[in-house]
Amino acid sequence: MDNYKLSGVDIAAGYESVDIIKHHVAKTRRDGVLAGIGGFAGLFSLAGFKHMQEPVLASGTDGVGTKLKIAFVMDKHDTVGIDCVAYSVNDIICTGAEPLYFLDYIACGKVVPEKVGKIVEGVALGCQMAGCALIGGETAEMPGFYPEDEYDLAGTAVGIIDKKDIIDGAKIVQGDVLIGIASSGLHSNGYSLVRKLLAPDAGNVGRHIAEFGRTLGEELLEPTKIYVKTILSLMENVEIKGICNITGGGFLENVPRMLPPGFCAKVKIGSWDVLPIFDYLKDIGKLDPAEMHNIFNMGVGMVIAVAARDCDKALQYLQNIGEKAYIIGEIAKNSEKDFEYV
């Protein structure tokens, strides 16, 4: 063991990390979880879903990306775990599936138990926001592969839905309305460009930016919004025909993913509130507005399609539960293109 420690791998630190994260994991426990962390596999029972005619599992996996570089500079690690959970569960909810459980993967140059504890604290909080259990994970110490003070963070979520209830866009028709639900900020995409434009380092992440009402670092580390509970509750009140998560590729790449063949999503630029961070980036980088809409979420993190007759009901419900939502476009017939800005 001593020789292994000399090579850069500290098994004792790994054990200490597990002890630290146990109470965070316990907060995410939900019906179906069969065992605590520490086993070779996480176990989850589907006995509580026997009412479903044909239960289908939905899965999603993703990482945080280069947003982690901001966490390294600020030495703040308790929110990136929320981002890690958000990207997987926000993809799953696009099918209408309820996330059941999550597993995380941390790869680092050196295991620092307190840092690992902060990372998992964020993961556990994200799981609580999504209503899923954190049932396992892995912390890999890889000296020589990662710098000692850096790490990568990724995870996988699994959810469930009755096959008859899957939201796949098949019911979308001409005249359906697109509703955008506000984002919390940049979320976790576009950070390679953001870092190139703003060069966040120890010298400027603490700089207060008037447009944000907080420091640059605080704005850039704002966690990705988790839409699971919002969508699940809205589904009980309104028929949702299609859902898309505005991630990398912005509107142009993501909105068409929920459309059946032969239809076009017409999105009206200017129909929602653009958050200050996006105007700030546009001015600093002299970026073309159309290009920005194809990179960033621009203040809309999730888009849903509903029938025109259900639009007002959906907007009112979202408002009642504290969400900012906007009519941002509509569905039209078009066999030549599937997306258009208007």
Chain segment 36-78, per-residue pLDDT in tens = 777 899 999 999 999 999 999 999 999 999 999 999 999 999 9
In DSSP notation, 14-32 reads: HHHHHHHHHHHHHTT--TT
Report the CATH number that the domain containing residue 134 is assigned in CATH. 3.30.1330.10
* Within a domain: 160: yes
Output the pLDDT for position 199.
95
Domain count for the chain: 2
The residue whose two tokens read 């408002």 is 319
The length of the chain is 342
Domain boundary among 164, 186, 203: 164
Output the pLDDT for position 180.
98
- Residues 6, 150, single domain; the answer is yes
Cβ atoms of residues 276 and 304 within 8 Å: no
Cα-based distances in Å from 177 to 98, 115, 314: 24, 45, 11
Q: Please, which residues have CB within 8 angstroms of residue 6's CB and are 6 or more apart in sequence?
A: none
Claim: this prediction has a pTM higher than 0.75: yes
Instruction: Residue 200: give the domain boundaries.
Output: 177-341
Chain segment 220-266, per-residue pLDDT in tens = 999 999 999 999 999 999 999 999 999 989 999 999 999 999 999 99
Domain boundary among 164, 189, 209: 164
Cβ atoms of residues 299 and 182 within 8 Å: yes
* Within a domain: 170: no
> Cα-Cα-Cα-Cα dihedral of 232, 237, 239, 240, to 10°?
-40
> Residue 114 corresponds to which tokens in the numbers above?
């307190």
> Residue 170 corresponds to which tokens in the numbers above?
């098949």
Distance CA 233, CA 228 (A): 9
- Residues 19, 156, single domain; the answer is yes
Q: At what angle do helices 80-92 and 228-235 cross, to 10 degrees?
A: 30
Beta-bridge partner residues of 214: 209
pLDDT means over runs of 10, the chain (342 residues): 59 76 92 86 96 98 97 98 98 98 97 96 98 96 96 98 98 98 96 96 95 97 98 98 95 96 96 97 93 94 98 98 98 95 92
